[in-house]
Amino acid sequence: MAEFVSIMALAHAPGVTGWIESCPVDHQQKIKAGYEELARVMRAAKPDIIIGVANDHLLNLPLKNPPHWRVDCAGDWNGPAEFFKAWLKQPGYHVKGRPDVAETVAREMAKAGFKIDRGEGLLFDDNWSVPLWYLGYDVPILPIHMNCINPPVPQPEECIAFGRELRRIVRDVLPAGLRVALMGTGGLSHEPGGPRYFTMDAKFDRWFLELMEESNPDRVVREASVERMNEAGGGGTTELLAWMIAMAAAGGTHGKTVFYVASEEMRCGIGATVWPSFA
């Protein structure tokens, strides 16, 4: 059977690569150090593939009746999409896929009853481009796009079930010896499109990071509802659903907060959790 070698959840706010120099110096240093620590953890794990789960940002999934999940079984991608290059201040990158792994994950998820479809030529924005800026482009990825912001979105219960199923697929179905990393990306609190666009809810973010440290799925379902996330920042904070997938995939071990910055200039709470061990 395959094995997890790294599981993490991290913010992907566009300003992290796009305009971080506008932050106060102490914030710049803390954010960069946080992402560099994540890169160190990922490098040390020596994964053969990074499975990512992130918000689609209404870029690929249909506006009407979107699936909850979409897998692209392509062999490679170029990112970010042109519209986002100046925003992210990125010249562009190339990253490979693992169509064999993607096909297996898509097939097994569909068999398990998840509303997942396949789409070729997924466009990437900040969802993968910000994490990969730090994590690098040398490891193949499996990008799973999810619908976090076009109601009805998958509820926390479904995300935790998705994470558990991903864990089963990795451990029971994927080929022996395959070293798998998992990253859920998004959040923390932010409100693109609302009156709180220029601020975030740091109190909520610190509470959520503590939830991830505890990693009690029952409590997460009970307390970190979609409604609660939207109260902390509508239209953006529900990206934390991707973190719940990472938490569930770790199998019940505690998470560790890597860093957190409530950044006015990023217009988002920026932070990360890693699960140092897996049950």
Partner 1 sequence: MANEFNPDLPSNRMVFEVRRDNSVWPHFKERLEELMTQYGLSDAEKDAFRAIDVRRLGEMGVHPYFLPQVTRLFHGSARNTTKSAAALAYRHSFGDQIVEHQDEDGTGRG
Q: Which two tokens stand for residue 154?
A: 């998958």
Give the torsion sign (CA, 223, 257, 239, 16). Answer: positive
Q: Which of 34, 23, 22, 84 is nearest to 271 (CA)?
A: 34
- Considering only residues 112 to 131 of the shown chain, the ones binding partner 1 according to CB under 8 A are 123
User: Segment near partner 1 (CB under 8 A), from 39-47, 80-88, 177-185, 246-254?
Assistant: 80-88
Q: Does 221 bind partner 1 (CB under 8 A)?
A: no
Q: In this complex, which beta carbon is closest to partner 1, that of residue 247 or of residue 266?
A: 266
Please tell me the count of residues contacting partner 1 according to CB under 8 A. Answer: 41
Distance CA 190, CA 126 (A): 14
What tokens were used for 29? 């240093």
Site for partner 1 in 183-212 (CB under 8 A): 191-200, 202-203
Q: Which helix (H) or strand (E) holds 14?
A: none
- In order of 142, 192, 222, the CA distances from 195 in angstroms are 35, 8, 27
Selected binder of partner 1 within 30, 32, 45, 58 (CB under 8 A)? 58
C-beta closer to partner 1: residue 89 or 107: 89
Q: Which residues of 201-239 are buried (b: 16+ CB within 10 A; e: fewer)?
A: bbebbbebbebbeebebeebbeebebebbbebbbbbbbb
Please pick, from the candidates 242, 267, 275, 278, the single residue that binds partner 1 as defined by CB under 8 A. Answer: 267
Residue from 17, 104, 189, 230 touching partner 1 (CB under 8 A): that is: 230
- Rounded to whole angstroms, how far apart are CA atoms 116 and 241? 16
Among 99, 119, 235, 251, binds partner 1 (CB under 8 A): 235
Contacts with partner 1, 16-55, as mask; x by CB under 8 A: --xx--x---------------------------------
Name 273's bridge partners: 9, 257
When asked if residue 64 is in the footprint of partner 1 (CB under 8 A), the reply is yes
Binding residues for partner 1 (CB under 8 A): 14-15, 18-19, 22, 57-59, 63-64, 81-84, 86-87, 89, 123, 149-151, 191-200, 202-203, 230, 234-236, 262, 264-265, 267
